[in-house]
Structure 1
Amino acid sequence: MPLPAKAFQLWLHSVAPTASTADICRISGIKRTTLAQQLVRGKVSESTLVSISRALKRSPLDDLASFDSFAGLAEQPQLPTPAELVSQIATMDLLRAVISRSSPAYGGFGDHGSALTPPLSAAPHATSVRNWVDAIDDGELRHRVSAATGVAPQNYSAQLTANRLAPELAVATSRAAGVGFTGGLVATGLLTEAEAGWTPAAKQAALDALSDGELTALAGERLQSLGRTLRRQEQEHEQTKKIWENLG
């Protein structure tokens, strides 16, 4: 759930006691009307806090952890698993890795050749949320998250299909899967990899650890998923086009 406005205001006063609302909005890039509306509703979004924390050169992870709904977030940080790291590698980067490994310059498959591939794109990517959940799902994860949060499985799945996940659900998913809390917050784009404490070379190391077969199979699965998404979009476009044609 979003952060309670009163708790947010107490936090803001503690970290920037002399700054006015106008000052905070100016340095963080948040519209004054947006912040005012959130305060009036009594609920401030996590992204608002993160933007302000970044602007003040603070740790968004630590600041989130200071609120009850994210308690324990920064305590005993647990590094992401290799599967989580790989899930945050964009499909195009996986394809580049396949091409690099199969390049004649490396004698075909068998040599990773990561030195010739461009740096990996930063998370999140187009399917980062769904990929992250799939990477930590043991088959019962969605049911455990639903039981713990009260969110219906179909609503949870709908968020994954749209490649989004509310921050509190991301943390609840991490708890239910028994993994570190930062994976979901990176996958949703709330925190950067650096803010979550991931080392710069972590994703590349996880990618290099994949065998040629594992990499090729994963890239193939991603392509199939992308193909289904594109076909669905094309069908929806054609249906919309026909509707407009029938309307004259």
Structure 2
Amino acid sequence: MTVPAKVFLNWLDEVAGGASHAAVCRAAGIKRSTLAQQLVRGRVTMATVAAVSRSLHLPVVASIARFPQYQDLAAGGRAPTEAELLSQISDMDLLREILNRSAAVEAGSPAAQTMLSPVPHRASVRTWLDAVDPSELRQMVAREAGIAPQNLSAQITANRLTPELAITSAQLAGVGLTNGLVATGFLTPAEAGWRPGSRTAVLRRTTNSSLVSLAAERLEALGRTLRRTEQDSAAAQTVWENLG
């Protein structure tokens, strides 16, 4: 996600009150050289726009929507579905909730409330895509964005997704355009307009059977990832042994 440098500078003059670039960078936690390189190339990233907006206490989504190519971002924001909210609860937190409920049944007392880890978690991109996938979403995103499916898969495996791909995924899935940006960590839940405590609320409403099924799916996916990692490690070890 980038905007023309000239458009960015016009916006910066408007919101920063004529502050120097050095002052803006210090406040936003951006290296002066990073901004300078972006201006020289003529394209400024949305990460820079977001950082400047946060430093000036401006709403990030509204700031990004000021740029013509992203003007639909604010209007396209919608509350996350229950599936999306659950997707942004980590595997460990799901398991803690199951254990808390089991312990409460044995003790005959109310279940302790699980304190949820921050978003994103270590597989938040994959779990979000799984939650919003109408059918073959990954293939649709790759075709729409004009990238190789294996390149998209590599990003997902690394728990990364460019903002452009996150927005494209949301558009194709028919969900709020900012929700994928939360899953990638580009936006916080609050910046995307998620209600405070919404993840906890949906977790508490989830039935025991649904919770166990979801945890089982997550563990199976984790098992596949671990098997691939172990196979790659074993293959690399074999290569080193042969070279030795």
Q: TM-score if structure 1 supplies the norm length?
A: 0.90
- In structure 2, what is the Cα distance between the partners aligned to 1:243 and 1:39? 45
Provide the secondary structure at the position in 2 that maps to 1:12. helix
CA-to-aligned-CA distance 1:187-229 (integer Å, 9 cap, x gap): 0100001111111210011112211111001111111211222
Distance 1:10 1:138 in 2: 40
Alpha carbons of 1:145 and 1:229: their partners in 2 closer, same or farther (altered >3 Å)?
closer
Query: Deviation per CA, 1:76-134, whole angstroms, max 9, x where unpaired?
Result: 6310000011001011100101101111x33489x872xx2342111111111111111
Structure 1 runs not aligned, ≥5 long: none
Q: Which residue of 1 aligns with 2:91?
A: 91
Q: Residue 242 of structure 1: CA displacement?
A: 3.3
Percent identical pairs in the alignment equals 51
What amino acid does structure 2 have at the position aligned with 1:159? Q
The question of whether the paired residues in 2 share the 8 Å contact of 1:142 and 1:153 is answered with yes
- 1:65 deviates by 1.1
Equivalent of residue 213 in structure 1, options 191, 209, 214: 209
Aligned to 1:139: 135
Matches of residues 9-48 of structure 1 in structure 2 within 5 Å? 9-48=9-48
RMSD: 2.1
Deviations 1:46-95 (A, max 9, x none): 21211111111111111111122322211263100000110010111001
Give the distance between the partners of 2:242 and 2:146, measured in 1 at CA.
43
Q: Provide structure 2 residue ranges, at least 5 long, that are not aligned to the other structure.
A: none
- Write the deviation string for residues 13-66 of structure 1: whole angstroms up to 9, x where unpaired: 111132111101111111111111222222222212111111111111111111
Q: What displacement does 1:234 show?
A: 2.4
Task: Say whether 1:168 aligns with 2:167.
Answer: no
> Structure 2 vs 1, CA of residues 26 and 223 (structure 1 numbering), >3 Å: closer, same or farther?
same
Match in the other structure for 1:123:
119
Aligned length: 244
Q: Call closer, same or farther: CA 1:145–1:236 in 2, change over 3 Å.
A: closer
Residue of structure 1 equivalent to 2:78:
78
Report the TM-score when normalising by structure 2: 0.91
Per mean C-alpha deviation after superposition, the further-off stretch among 190-199 and 44-53 is: 44-53
